[in-house]
Structure 1
Amino acid sequence: MLKRLDKTQKKWGGSNSLIDQWLNNRRNLLVNYCQIAGLPPYDPIENTLPTFGSIKAFCDLLMDYVSEGHFEIFDQVVTACEKNGTSSQALAQKLVPRISETTDTALDFNDKYTESADDNVLYHLDKDLSSLGHAMETRFELEDKLLEVLHTKYS
């Protein structure tokens, strides 16, 4: 996911402050995800699960990223698409509900790992991080399609 982000930043970075902010926040989220999941370049500490504090910090970033998309960026993109013709508007109307499906996965993860301090919940962390990772990858692909519209029409 980080390699894909690098390509996305090379393609659209620097062309629009909104895009730059969005991609920077995505990078922070991905780096934190890799750290708690023990993915390269971050090695897991052998036989040790992440702390609730580190998971909570990740959940905070995740909720900030999801909220920013839904309450700031998507609204601006959809509004801009409405102004620039039916094809852009149709794309936005198609993509935003699909992105919302990934939001549900993020919210479920957040609820599970911020509402409980029970150590037993951590035994599901690898499986839950894997599911969340798939949802995030899908989300980023869909968001990149919105970025393409934003970049093409407004940069």
Structure 2
Amino acid sequence: MLESCKTAQERWGGVHEIIDRWLEQRRQLIEALMYLKGCKTFSGSDTEKVQHACDMLVDYVSAGHFTVYEQLAIEAKEFHDDDSILLLRKLLPLIENTTEVAIEFNDKFGIKDHSASQLESLSFALQALLVVMAERFQHEDLLIKELHEVHSEKVPEE
């Protein structure tokens, strides 16, 4: 029994570290986006900051899809938790919708040179992105709570 607890701690502790790193990425992303939101107007000199925020956005979204959600799905399956799997199936499409908005934002603003009209539309697009990302963060927090925290003290069924 002690060995299975040790194995479970090693296994799920690794998932916990992945989630912790990802949530730190989220914090840094929010700071970058809020900095941009605080800018009243944008000029060509802001291009580097906008690009950096876009890079962080794509990195965060990618880590969610290609690392975190996969680990949470594996965890739900290993614990034979049908409710968690159903929640995952319900929330992933909602998160995917926010991914499309994030990618569109990156495609439009994650470039080296911005036109005057792009810079004029940045504030409005940024505000819309922040609303969508807040929704995404709520869905992700629910996934973490229901698919990881619930299982963190348990040993998977054999």
User: Same fold by TM-score, threshold 0.5 exceeded?
Assistant: yes
SS in structure 2 at match of 1:49: coil
What's the counterpart of residue 32 of structure 2?
32
Q: Indicate the residue corresponding to 1:49 in structure 2.
A: 42
Q: Which has the higher contact order (CA 8 A, sep 6+)?
A: 2
Larger radius of gyration: 2
Greater Cα offset, 120-129 or 57-66: 120-129
Runs of 4 or more, structure 1, over 3 Å off, are: none
Structure-1 separation of matches of 2:94 and 2:117: 32
Distance 1:55 1:151 in 2: 34
Cα deviation for residue 120 of structure 1 reads 1.7
Which residue in the other structure is 1:75 paired with?
70
Deviation at 1:57, TM superposition (A): 0.4
Tell me if 1:107 matches 2:103: yes
Partner of 1:10: none
The Cα offsets for residues 72-99 of structure 1, whole Å up to 9 and x where unpaired, read as 0001101111222211111111111110
- TM-score (norm. length: structure 2): 0.79
Q: Note if 1:64 corresponds to 2:81.
A: no
**Structure 2: 5+ residue runs without aligned partners?**
1-14, 154-158
Quick one: distance in 2 between partners of 1:48 and 1:129? Answer: 12
Question: Residues 136, 73 of structure 1: CA spacing in aligned structure 2 closer, same or farther, 3 A cutoff?
Answer: same
Q: Deviations over 1:91-143 (max 9, x none)?
A: 11111111010000000000011245212211011110111011100000000
Give the Å deviation of 1:34. Answer: 0.6
Paired residues, number: 134
**Runs (5+) with no aligned partner, structure 1:** 1-14, 39-43
